[in-house]
Chains A and B, each alone.
Chain A
Amino acid sequence: MLSMTQLSKVYQTHMIETHALRGIDIQVREGEFVAVTGPSGSGKTTFLNIAGLLEEFTGGGYTLDGVDVRGLNDDQRSRLRNEKLGFIFQGFNLIPDLNLFDNVDVPLRYRGFKAAERKQRIEEALSKVGLASRMKHYPAELSGGQQQRVAIARALAGSPRLLLADEPTGNLDTQMARGVMELLEQINAEGTTIIMVTHDPELAARAQRNIHIVDGQVVDLQRLATAA
């Protein structure tokens, strides 16, 4: 599903060069639920942005669902992002003056679906997250947990091959976080591949596999534990 080989990312200003990722090799198979962990500033978010085609990488290779993304132009990357990826952000990132229906509609509009299909997909996605009855509500009328559910519905509506979640429970209390996590597990059980960046070891432990990034490199946690 996702294959990064010797992938590197260097941020360059005229003064300094910052190596955010240093030749990482990451493979994620279809249907996996992978947690990406690591301390702040380790390169987790950079990895997620590159995986989500929001940023370009400096070196190495990246293949997403069989498509080599190197050399794609901005339009092609946008189309690929829209077709194959779903995003869940820590801050939900719903559009405040659109109701839930219209928020979930956003990626479907750019996909070019007909109105009837969009409506069906939106209703199904909101039903899946338990908010079908609140389609006409606005984000500000919902709790944080509910808003994150809407964000999940928006990510799911286009039937993505890969769901990228950046600290999806970071802004939620324990109970809400548990509910969101259960929802992600259910989505994964239904076949969607998930990569989740998290600080929370408890959440990471619920994933099938952990990738630990430190200082821009993937480290083997078992080897680290043995060395300790």
Chain B
Amino acid sequence: MFGYYLKLGLKSLRRSPVLTALIVLILAVGIGASMTSLTMLLVLSGDPIPQKSDRLFVPQIDSGPKNASWQAGEEPERQLGWVDVSNLLRDAKGKRQTALYGVGPTIDPMREGLTPFVEQGMATTRDVFPMFDIPFVAGGPWSAEDDARGADVVVIGRALAERVFGDERVVGRTLRLSDRDYRITGVMGDWNPIPRFYRINGSGVDSDVHQVWLPINNAISRKWSNNGWTNCSGDIDPGFAGLLSDGCTWLQYWVELESASDREAFTDYLRAYVAEQQALGRLPRPENNRLRNVREWLDFVGIVNSDTRMATWIAFGFLLVCLVNVVTLMLAKFTARAGEIGVRRALGATRNEILRQSLVEAGVLGAAGAILGLGLAIYGVALIDGRLSSSENFFTMDPWLMSGTVVLGFFCALVAGLLPTWQASRVRPAIQLKSQ
């Protein structure tokens, strides 16, 4: 009988077309809005590096001054100063460790027809590549020696290689960065972590993957300023020297441990480090360290902020309102069919058969609403994605979400159809036939 009910359900779409169109449209708008919000929430709350997110940590050290505005136990700065970064890199207590800050060198393509342009880059250490599983299509990271002496070496992204050289096989060639030649040691492959967990400035979804990666000691020796958050307090020297002093935090630090269980040992190390520095007259505040893995870090920095969560709740609340409207419209639709239902009952249909037929009809409406809703959700996600400055597609609906959208639409229609279909199955044929 399912095939028969399905055929009747499809026929019913043409019956009372205005009512049908309204039901499908309301359902689709509700589904589209809620799935757009849910997609954003899921993408933002996803794990950008699931294979090792429990082994990558961000340490925080409270290096601020002990002034009047200080309160004991307050959250330390998210970034570290150059002194602490240098010390932690030197101690190298993790399996790997790195520090990053943003730079914006001017690239001179040295090619006819191409004018110099500014490219976003990362000043960092060679460990960053294996730590974050950054792939290479050619070459690899610079050497430890290059790191130590801040050599003029660079790893570039595939897009930049294509743009400047028209080719990605450019290892060993020279790239001119802010009037100095850099030797290319590697070309990165496709790497698109969402969110940009390695260095979050802003929403974590509003920048392209950096195309220029060079040794941090090189950037510092060239006094390249930080493209990103810098927090300085107290009396500091003017200029780049001040940035390197104790009063400024501006570097993102990451450490990779052998296993998640090494976390305690590293915490102990940080505690000992702070004590040692305090003995040397630095770090005036009491020890107040933090150590967060990737998931904890993303939660802390509020990648999924309360606005996003609220928007998702509102969208699902809106879906609920839509469903209440759909219930009303379905009641009207099935009430208009009471005569036909009476005839079917007189001709031998049981209440259960009427219930099943009506549920399949509600399901057909749900499927139509879900397909239209899926289209609206895809459009909504694309619209939001298009408003980001990044050229990458951050927000996309994967096949699971798409299937989920259709299932949700179908489920919603069935839920909304429960009362109307139950009422339809309770039609008393004698009364309906008399009123025909």
Contacts and interface: CB of A to CB of B under 8 A. Distances in A.
Interface of A: 45, 49, 52, 54-55, 74-75, 78-79, 81-83, 87, 89, 91, 93, 95, 97-98, 106-107, 109-111, 154, 158
Contact of B346 (A81, A98, A109): A81
Interface residues of B, number: 24
A78 B11 contact: no
Contacts, number: 61
A103 B336 CA distance: 19
Interface string B306-347: 000000000000000000000000000000000110111111
Given A93-B339, A97-B11, A54 B349 contact: no
B232 to A, nearest CB: 76
Contacts of A107: 347-348
Interface stretch (B94-102, B141-149, B219-227, B426-434): B426-434
B14 interface: yes
Contact of B347 (A45, A98, A154): A154
A93 B343 contact: yes
A170 to B, nearest CB: 12
A83 to B, nearest CB: 8
Query: Which of A75, A87, A109, A111 has the most chain B CB within a 10 Å cutoff?
Result: A109
A55 B434 CA distance: 12
A89 B430 CA distance: 11
Interface stretch (B26-34, B43-51, B350-358): B350-358
Interface in B277-308: none
Contacts of B18: none
Contact of B351 (A74, A83, A89, A98): A74
Nearest to B337: A95
B351 to A, nearest CB: 6
Query: Which of A55, A75, A78, A79 has the most chain B CB within a 10 Å cutoff?
Result: A78
9 contacts: A54-B345, A89-B433, A93-B433, A106-B343, A106-B347, A109-B1, A109-B4, A110-B344, A110-B348
B346 A110 contact: no
Interface of A: prevailing SS: helix
A75 B352 contact: yes
A98 B357 CA distance: 15
Contacts of B342: 93
Given A81-B346, A106-B347, A107-B348, A91 B436 contact: yes
Interface of B: 1, 4, 11, 14-15, 339-340, 342-353, 429-430, 433-434, 436
B346 A52 contact: yes
A97 B351 contact: no
Given A78-B350, A97-B14, A106 B344 contact: yes
B430 A110 contact: no
A49 B345 CA distance: 12
A79 B347 contact: no
Contact of A111 (B14, B345, B348, B351): B348
Given A91-B436, A109-B4, A54 B430 contact: yes
A93 B337 CA distance: 12
Given A49-B430, A110-B349, 9 more contacts: A54-B346, A54-B430, A78-B345, A79-B348, A82-B349, A93-B342, A106-B344, A107-B347, A110-B348
Nearest to B351: A74
A95 B348 contact: no
A93 B338 CA distance: 12
Contacts of A78: 345, 348-351
Contacts of B349: 78, 82, 110
Contacts of A52: 346
A110 B433 contact: no
Q: What are the 8 tightest A-B residue pairs by CB atom distance, in nearest-first order?
A: A82-B348, A110-B348, A107-B347, A54-B430, A78-B350, A49-B430, A91-B436, A93-B343
B4 A95 contact: no
Contacts of A110: 344, 347-350, 353
A97 B10 CA distance: 11
A145 B345 CA distance: 24
Contacts of B11: 97-98
A95 B11 CA distance: 12
A97 B434 CA distance: 21
Nearest to A45: B434
A81 B348 contact: yes
A52 B350 CA distance: 14
A93 B350 contact: no
Contacts of B339: 93
A55 B342 CA distance: 12
A54 B428 CA distance: 8
Contacts of A55: 430
Contacts of A87: 346-347
A54 B256 CA distance: 77
Query: Which of A49, A154, A158 has the most chain B CB within a 10 Å cutoff?
Result: A49
B113 to A, nearest CB: 67
A52 B346 CA distance: 8
B430 A75 contact: no
B130 to A, nearest CB: 66
A127 to B, nearest CB: 20
A149 B375 CA distance: 47
Contacts of A97: 11, 14-15
Contacts of A81: 346-348
